[in-house]
Structures are given as structure tokens and as C-alpha cells.
Amino acid sequence: MLRYKLFPEKPFAHIFRLQLEIKEPQDSGQIISLANWIPGSYLVRNFAKHIVSMSASSDDGTIKVKKLDKNHWQCEPCSGVLLLEYEVYAFDLSVRSAYLSDERAFFNGSSVFVKVHGFEGEPCEIEVYQPPKSQAKSHWKIATTLEKLNESKTHSTFFAPNYSHLIDHPVEMADYQSFDFSVSGVPHQMVLTGEHNTDIDRLTADLELICQHHVDFFGNTAPFNRYLFLALVMTKGFGGLEHADSTSLICSREDLQDSHIEEPTSNYTRFISLCCHEYFHAWWVKKLRPSVFLKPSLDQEAYTEQLWIFEGFTSYYDELALLRVKILSPDSYLNLFAKTVTRVCSGSGRLKQSIAESSFDAWTKFYQQDENAPNAIVSYYGKGALLAFVLDVEIRKTTKDTVTLDDVLRYAYIHYSDSGLEDDDMANIVKKLTQQSFDAFFEKYLYGVDELPLLEAFGYVGVDCQFDLNAKDLIAFGVRVTKDNGSSKITQVLDDGCAQAAGLFVGDVIIAVDDVKVAHESLVSLINKSASGAVLKFTITRDQLMKEVLVKLSFNNKSHCTLSLMNDLDARTKKRQKQWFYGAAK
């Protein structure tokens, strides 16, 4: 049994102190390490850089600890119990690492609990202590899905059967608010940390619908005995990370709808879609996953072409599920889906990087985007969701609406959860269920960069798809901008736009147009109301120097998508539309 103790000892300094007791350390000198990345977030983050100090002792007295590389250490051989003590700096307000202040503590095990080499399968006991009363605003409750052994005024004790289990259960400590509900007899809990004014009844009812949908979708069984949503509520913030039987979420106060508003706001819809997405991952990433993720080394990257399956398909279903449980109306759902189409189609990167390449290069490109990203890469989330939709329609067409993508996911979950998916398994599953080869489809749209046949796919389910210019942004002009001291600063320049052709650069600040000073709020309307072919003189600052750039306007990027229900559908198309929207009986 490995015994860890965690002390939120210095909240003002954001320092956790940890102790680890190893009863029978390796004779050659115990090696320990800390993860370089956390599953679900594909970037090497080097968590060991936050270790401030480390020391060790045993019956022999002080034990030397030698650093072997950036995240490995070795203790000199010793007799008796080895006691390791170290401090971790924790001030990352995200779902990926660790955080400590006088108001709350949060940590993922991969950021604070070192791995003891040779003992990865050993059970672990974890004592989590309360912060000093002088540096905490209140007594903190502890929320986690780790098995609780006992609790006292000073600390709580938890159990994990092995190290992998230990680091897949995030912990929240705060004076939080929580509420409980049950889905198919399985207890669920939502924890909300931070100031908020939430309609708890509404949120509870919506989560019950979403969770029940997912349980039913995957065969009426849950791969966990309980489930926990951990949500940090901030002024600004958004994101989530999946775990085996919990998820860590960040949202803004505007995302949590209060009881005075009847219709779901766009912010609230975004939040429950996030909950829907991360909960879906309990089956579709945590249980079924790429084979390379079954036992990944957290020391180095684990490459896979399959993130389009696990994140793209999940992104397809996270909003579709809200329609199927009738949280969203068909019109509201189509408006959301149109935004996904617009995001993907507004960048030329979709014509240069395949979705398979996007998945494989997540470590170096998607998670490390620069200003040229729209021109060079495509999102396996966004385009993966569009591919999922087109694949769903093609499966329906091929089988005369007797098989859908729903069936593909369920088959994969049932038959591949133990072995994991290889790169070609999804194509083989589709072929098996449809009795048709989809090799040409995947070659064009997964491994190639052909435009997805969106118009035809939407038409098959009775949805009209239109593309036009968007008068509310500068995508057609070829730039994205942000406010900079009242003016507009260019953050991205899109390929083949008139802005790029004229020589406008990222970092340029637009001061005036045709010698008239232009405020940030007025720039979009000023440009978009001008006629194509007109020449405008832009006064900019670049490296603190004033410059003039002449831009001949052309608006060619018709990437703004609108989706709407077609009128006068025949009975067959109406039935197909209903089956797609609601998963109705075939």
C-alpha cells in the first residue's frame, strides 16, 4: 500500500505539500516520476516544472534524491520505509492541472501525485487535509469520486486500487453548492464552485434528460457506479475534461441560467452542451478508446489518427442529443449546427490538412495554434462533427434508412471496448453493418481534403443549407480583429482575401479608413457596406510606425451558413428527418 498525504498548506503562496510513504522501496534506488500530460488534453505540459522542492528520508536518515531528467527522480538505496516529501506550486485556473488559493483547491492526480515505478499496480491510500484556518475563508467540503474510507475534522482518507485509478479522479475542495439526481438508479451529483444565481431545478431536470439519453443510447447501462460534475463558475471561462466517472468543467456566470428566464439562452445552451459532451465521453473515450490510449505512457506523446472519431463524433452528438431530449427545438438545433459549419468553412486549412492528419498532429498543431492556424489546419472537433453527419447520412442512404451512425457507435462500444480501436476499425465496422465498402468515402473525406457534400446531405433529411457573406464579421474581407485601445488590431489574416492581397499583416492596428478615424465598433459595418471593387485607404500602425495600405475590396469567402427546415416535404423525407432528429423507430 502506497500512502499519500496532501496538505493545502500555503494557500496564499499556492503551495501544496505532499508526503509519500513507500514501505519497500526498490533495492537499486526508488525511481519516481510525474506525468508530462493528462489524458484528454493532447499537449505536453511538463507538470514536473511545478515541483518546488523535494526531499527524502528513511531509517538511514536523509536520503539523496537525484534528478534523472525533467520528470524523473531516483532516491539512493535505503533500508526501511522511504518517506518522500515535496512541494507543488498550484495556480492554474484550468481543468487540466492544479490550483490552490484561500477560497478553493482543485487538483488532478497527474499534477500532484508522483508515480512510484515498479508499484503502479499497488493500492493507494490518500489523506487530503484541510487548509490552515488562518488562510482559508471556511471549512472546505471535498468532492471527488475516489472511494472515501473515513473523514475527520482535519482530513479525509480515500482509496484507489492503483496509480492509473488515482490520477483519473479530480478533487475539488471549497465551500461549494451541490445537488443530486439519479439516472437509471445511478447516483449523480453536480458541484458548483463560485458565485452564481442558477436555476437549480431547471439545470437538474436538463441534466437528468441528457444523462438518461446517453445511458439509453449505449444500451441502458452506465460504465460507472456514480458520476460527478465538477463545475467552476467564473466571470469568464469555458472548458471541460473527461474522467472515468466525473468531469471537470469551467463556465462563466452568464452560462448558468437563472429562474427569471424561460427560454434557454445561447450561453446556457453552450454550457449544457459541454456537460452533454463530457458525459458522452464516459463511454466514448474513457471506456472505448484508441488502442494506443489503453495504457499510454504519460512521459511522451501518444499519437493517433482517431481523434476525429472520439472528439468529432462526440461534438456531433452533444448538440443532437439536446434536440433528441427536446431541450432544443429543431430551429435552435439547426442554428447551432450552422455555426459549426461556418467555423469549419471560414478557414482554408480544411483544404490543406485532412481530419486524420489533424488528429495525429493535435500535439503540435491543434493544441499549439498560431495566427496562421485557419490557413493551415482544421479542427478534428468541428470538421469531425461534420464528417460524422455526412457519414450518418451516407449510411442511411446506403441501407435505405435501416442503419444509422447510432448503430455504428453502439456496435463499436460493445465489441471494441476491451481491445480499443485501431485506425481502420471504424471503416470495417461501417462496412460490416452496411454490407458496403466505404473506402472511397474515407479516402476522400477522412484522408483527403475534398469538400464534404453538405448540401446533398442536408437535403436528404429535409434541411436547406445556404452559404453567404456575413455582415457581422470581417471573414469575407479576410481578417479577424480584436479591440485595441478603441481601434481594431488584426489577429488573423485569411488566405486569398483582399486584406492579404493588399499586404495587411497580423498585428496591424487599423486607425483610419479614407483618412477618417474609425472606432473598433464601426469597422465591420464600414467595410461590409462598401462595394466590391472599391479601393479603400487604410491607415495602420505597424511596429509603432504609421503606414497607409490601399485595399481593393473583394468579398469571396461565402462561408456563413444558414440551415432551415424545407417546406412541402414528401412523406419519406419527413420520416427520415424525424428519424435523424429524434432517433425514432426505423
Residues 317-336: tens digit of each pLDDT: 999 999 999 999 999 999 99
Q: Computed over its alpha carbons, how large is the radius of gyration of the chain?
A: 26
Per the structure block, which three cell numbers stand in for 381?
Answer: 472537433
Query: Given this model, what pLDDT does residue 585 score?
Result: 56
Query: Given this model, what pLDDT does residue 484 score?
Result: 96
Residues 100-111: tens digit of each pLDDT: 999 999 999 999
- Of the options 3.10.580.10, 3.30.2010.30, 3.40.109.10, 3.30.70.890, the CATH number for the domain spanning 176-264: 3.30.2010.30
Query: Given this model, what pLDDT does residue 414 score?
Result: 97
For domain 479-552, the CATH architecture is Roll (2.30)
pTM to 2 decimal places: 0.96
Q: What is the DSSP code string of 12-45?
A: TTTEEEEEEEESS--TT--EEE--SSBTTB-S--
- How many angstroms separate the CA atoms of 517 and 510, rounded? 9
Per the structure block, which three cell numbers stand in for 197?
Answer: 444565481
In the chain, which stretches have pLDDT less than 70?
A: 584-586
- Is residue 220 exposed (0-12), middle (13-18) or buried (19+ Cβ within 10 Å)? exposed
What are the sequence ranges of the domains in the chain? 2-173, 176-264, 288-461, 479-552
Query: Given this model, what pLDDT does residue 138 score?
Result: 81
- How many angstroms separate the CA atoms of 251 and 229, rounded? 12
For domain 288-461, the CATH architecture is Orthogonal Bundle (1.10)
**Topology given in CATH for the domain delimited by 2-173:** Immunoglobulin-like (2.60.40)
- How many angstroms separate the CA atoms of 72 and 330, rounded? 53
